[in-house]
């Protein structure tokens, strides 16, 4: 389905018809899917593109001389081109997702560009995927992990980041949107400040890409990482954006087929980028599915999506604020994707399980971001993560379900 680019044109009823899983019920209730920060459901266009690969040309890429392999190679490389262009980049390295992309940078870039005492600066908001790889790197190369704190509302300020920069800072690796609190960080300003100081930047874009228009070239970072399954594509596929020069100056991090130019027992030479970083048979069907996802998103329009999601988030925050015993955790001025909350006297896991009985699917736990939850004074929260296909009626159903949970629990 196609929408005109006007901001108010997004019709959730029509969009919902594109996504088969949204029409199912759970415990006899219509599904209200509010776990989009964990993963987004797949539209038919994605499922069908992957099916076509499996049914019509299930061949390996790059190596084959036969027709099916040629078709698979064309579809895989064409998906790369469309996904890169959707994100304002010339090309991309396919990975399993944001986690693998960050690990790629830590291993391939970090091991040869960082030495003992060099500082990697992250923020307090980071997902474990943008914390642990740097800790592992620090154990091998002696680099030091530093953290820019947030304020009590869960907001990251450029000034705090600037204060945390020292003459030893070599890399700033930060998220564009917090998956736990929904904070939109001033990432473009941070990248600009880093660039002016000659510091390399990595933006964890896993929670940006599904919610806003991303232009890698305009953002001005050196590395940008994302996951397909959070942007209506399949699991097991995602990518790394980086300039050709940057990638050319990094050694490969995994060895095997496809990433080489020549191999002998005496030594090997490397393929050009991006293939130098794609050892072994890639997730061909996944890449093709992700290509279909970005076509689908482009048709709907990221501006339309952002405008609609802002309305839904405001709607839900107002509803939660009106419920006694509910506390919203994190009050960022600019919110995207997620609302963390607590019900006084109840464990978030119980809240999640009880809402599930009402058909409302949410996430409860530490959201793979334990440090920010501790910073906010908690071990875990319940998280509502609406997307543009959700409706105002579903926000009302969710409020009613939360009120019911509180009544029943007492």
* Residues carrying an active site annotation: 368
Comparison of 228 and 301: residue with beta carbon closer to ligand PMP: 228
- Distance, in Å, from the CA atom of 351 to the CA atom of 341, rounded to the nearest integer, reads 10
380 binds ligand PMP (CB under 6 A): no
Comparison of 12 and 286: residue with beta carbon closer to ligand PMP: 286
Comparison of 364 and 402: residue with beta carbon closer to ligand PMP: 364
**Considering only residues 127, 319, 335, 383, which one is a binding residue for ligand PMP as defined by CB under 6 A?**
127
210 binds ligand PMP (CB under 6 A): no
Q: Which residues pair with 341 in a beta bridge?
A: 328, 382
First to last CA, the chain: 45
97 binds ligand PMP (CB under 6 A): yes
Min dist. Cβ of residue 241 to ligand PMP (A): 15
Q: Residue 2 burial (CB < 10 Å; 0-12/13-18/19+)?
A: exposed
**Considering only residues 36, 40, 138, 227, which one is a binding residue for ligand PMP as defined by CB under 6 A?**
227
**Considering only residues 73, 179, 185, 340, which one is a binding residue for ligand PMP as defined by CB under 6 A?**
179
Cis geometry, peptide bond prior to residue 64 (ω within 30 degrees of 0): no
Angle of CA points 258, 259, 263, to nearest 5°: 85
Comparison of 178 and 271: residue with beta carbon closer to ligand PMP: 178
Helix-, strand-, coil-residue percentages of the chain, each rounded to 5? 45, 20, 40
304 binds ligand PMP (CB under 6 A): no
Helix (H, G, I), strand (E, B) or coil at 204: strand
Helix (H, G, I), strand (E, B) or coil at 210: coil
Per-residue tokens: 296: 């689908």
368 binds ligand PMP (CB under 6 A): yes
- Distance, in Å, from the CA atom of 185 to the CA atom of 71, rounded to the nearest integer, reads 41
List the interface residues with ligand PMP, window 13-72 (CB under 6 A).
none
Q: Which region among 97-105, 139-147, 266-274, 382-390 touches ligand PMP (by CB under 6 A)? A: 97-105
**DSSP summary character for residue 41:** P
Task: Note the residues at the interface with ligand PMP (CB under 6 A).
Answer: 97-99, 127, 129-130, 175, 179, 204, 206-207, 227, 368
């Amino acid at each position: 389905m196609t929408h005109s680019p006007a901001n108010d044109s997004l019709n959730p009823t029509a969009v919902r018809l594109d996504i088969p899983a949204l029409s199912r019920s759970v415990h006899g209730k219509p599904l209200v899917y509010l776990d989009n920060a964990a993963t987004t459901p797949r539209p038919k266009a994605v499922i069908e593109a992957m099916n076509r690969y499996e049914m019509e040309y299930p061949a390996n890429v790059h190596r084959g001389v036969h027709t099916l392999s040629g078709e698979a190679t064309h579809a895989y490389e064409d998906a790369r081109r469309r996904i890169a262009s959707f994100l304002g980049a010339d090309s991309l390295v396919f990975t399993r997702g944001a986690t693998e992309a960050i690990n790629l940078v830590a291993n391939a870039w970090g091991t040869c560009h960082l030495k003992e005492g060099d500082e990697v600066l992250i923020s307090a908001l980071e997902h474990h995927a943008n914390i642990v790889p740097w800790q592992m790197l620090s154990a091998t190369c002696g680099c030091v992990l530093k953290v820019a704190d947030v304020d009590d509302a869960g907001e990251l300020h450029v000034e705090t980041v600037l204060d945390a920069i020292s003459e030893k800072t070599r890399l700033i690796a930060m998220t564009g949107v917090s998956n736990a609190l929904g904070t939109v960080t001033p990432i473009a300003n941070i990248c600009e400040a880093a660039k002016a100081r000659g510091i390399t930047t990595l933006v964890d874009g896993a929670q940006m890409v599904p919610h806003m228009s991303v232009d890698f070239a305009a953002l001005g970072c050196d590395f940008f990482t994302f996951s397909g399954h959070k942007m209506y594509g399949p699991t097991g596929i995602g990518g790394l954006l980086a300039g050709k020069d940057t990638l050319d100056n990094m050694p490969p991090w995994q060895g095997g087929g496809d990433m080489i130019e020549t191999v002998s027992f005496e030594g090997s030479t490397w393929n050009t980028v991006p293939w130098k970083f794609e050892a072994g048979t890639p997730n061909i069907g996944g890449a093709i599915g992700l290509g279909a996802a970005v076509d689908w998103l482009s048709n709907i329009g990221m501006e339309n999506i952002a405008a609609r999601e802002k309305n839904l988030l405001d709607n839900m925050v107002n509803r939660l604020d009106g419920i006694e015993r509910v506390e919203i955790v994190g009050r960022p001025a600019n919110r995207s994707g997620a609302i963390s909350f607590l019900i006084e006297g109840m464990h978030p896991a119980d809240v999640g399980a009880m809402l599930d009985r009402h058909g409302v699917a949410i996430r409860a736990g530490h959201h793979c971001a334990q440090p920010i939850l501790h910073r906010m004074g908690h071990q875990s929260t319940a998280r509502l993560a609406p997307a543009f296909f959700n409706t105002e009626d579903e926000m009302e159903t969710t409020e009613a379900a939360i009120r019911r949970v509180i009544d029943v629990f007492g």
